[in-house]
Amino acid sequence: MDLIRIIFAILLPPLGVFLQVGLGKHFWLNILLTILGYIPGIVHAVYIIARDEPARV
């Protein structure tokens, strides 16, 4: 399932973060980073998906 989220994170970073954590602070931060630059949004999304902490909903 993480592979699918990472693919979504590369194509549309906020979607990958949303699938991992929902509508939390990381989602809104990722939208801001994606607006400021596509690459920072991807890096943040992949970091959120790849970290070891369980998702907080």
CA distance 17 to 49: 7
pLDDT of residue 13: 95
- Supply 41's token pair: 């949004």
Reported pTM: 0.84
Which residue bears the tokens 């943040």?
44
Task: Residue 12: name the closest of 36, 37, 34 by CA.
Answer: 34
- Of 21 and 55, which is predicted with more confidence? 21
pLDDT of residue 15: 94
Residue 34 has pLDDT above 90, yes or no: yes
pLDDT of residue 56: 60
CA distance 55 to 33: 20
